[in-house]
Amino acid sequence: MVGSEMLKGINVLDLSNLLPGPMCSLLLAELGADVIKVESPSGDPMRYFENVNGKNPYFAALNRNKKSISLNLKADEGKKIFMALAKDADVIIEGFRPGKVDALGIGYKAVKKINPGIVYCSITGYGQKGAYRNKAGHDLNYASLSGMLDAMFQKPIVAGVQVPDTSSALVSAFAIVASLLSRQKSGRGCYIDVAVLDTALFVIGIHMAYRSVSENIDTVLSGSKPCYSIYKTKDGEFVSLGAIEKKFWVNFCSAIGREELIGRQFDSSREIAIEMQAVFKSKKVKEWMEISRRHDFCCEPVKKMGSLAKDSHFKGRKMLEEVDGISLVKMPVEFSSHKKIACVRHPKLGENAKGLLKKMGYSKSKIMELQSRGVII
């Protein structure tokens, strides 16, 4: 089975913008679903976010292997076109604030009337109910409100990686596929309510469990113990030491000839922190990698992203593909019956509108009329 056959025949309409929804539909597209990105006349804001030399790498990374149609959903004809597409869809993804799609007349209840089997997924910052439901927010806000920043750093900082957003995309894709599987048995679709904030809380679930029984924030996973931390090396680079299990810590201490440190694996004193820093500054990264290879104690270099395209591991697993000069990261799963599909460049705004409308029975003159009135572009 090739990649394009795994979810072949599943039609997805993606109304979402920015990161969570588009990443969710990207995962479905990577499995072979036919994804139509439904954009406003101005397009997904991510199209214009931090463009470099005329290229939009963020948008390209999230929207490959999709089609695009631009609809003015405030216009009756735009709404009519969307509902015609929705009638034959299997999945709809949206990321508006609660109540917006209902106000437009394209919410779950409206679509369900014409398509009872629809799987309709709303991905919002705070969910469809709850005290925060109407608030605006972004990834940093969700990381803040969920306690994630408290779990990750002793002093809150901007992490630089959108953990809540990406996690919600993964959870949403999982929920959608589970709902499609359930529909095969019951014949019924369903409505899925995903809150990015809830997902962020789920991600730090083990930390919440720990804090419920202890006020101690000085844990192994916080980086405060010598066996699990980041260290600077002789050549000014950094390595990560992850010797949590006793055997790995023993291997490390033996490798550096410091058996007296074996009993201090979880000592968070300043004394041993300074000592460990001095140990790692005594050798270059390459030396530490060779020592770790020989003695097996979970030590790895902190790599620069620019070097990953040449990494033999990622090459061997076919994780990266270059399209239009942009490195795209492919779906991080290997299936015995499924080959990863090739990356097709992201669509231009409204690029597939004419083809889709023609397929739906619209004449050339009608399509031109809709364009002239701004219903489509």
Ranges of each domain in the chain: 3-205+316-372, 238-301
Q: What is the band of 5 on the pLDDT scale with cuts at 50, 70, 90?
A: confident
Query: What pTM does this model have?
Result: 0.94
Q: Which helix (H) or strand (E) holds 68?
A: strand 67-70
Q: pLDDT tens across 286-318, in order?
A: 999 999 999 999 999 999 999 999 999 999 999
pLDDT in the model for residue 332: 94
- CB-based contact 224:155 (threshold 8 Å): no
Q: What is the band of 4 on the pLDDT scale with cuts at 50, 70, 90?
A: low
pLDDT in the model for residue 32: 94
Helix (H, G, I), strand (E, B) or coil at 126: coil
- Give the span between the Cα atoms of 281 and 295, in whole angstroms: 19
User: Is domain 3-205+316-372 annotated with CATH 3.40.50.10540?
Assistant: yes
- Residue 217 makes CB contacts below 8 A (sequence gap 6+) with 150, 154, 211
Rounded to the nearest integer, the mean pLDDT of the chain is: 95
- CB-based contact 33:11 (threshold 8 Å): yes
Percent of the chain with pLDDT over 70: 99
Q: Is residue 23 pLDDT above 50, yes or no?
A: yes
Q: Per mean pLDDT, which range of 103-117, 216-230, 248-262 is the poorest? A: 216-230
Q: What share of the chain is helix, strand, coil (3-state, %, to 5)?
A: 45, 15, 40
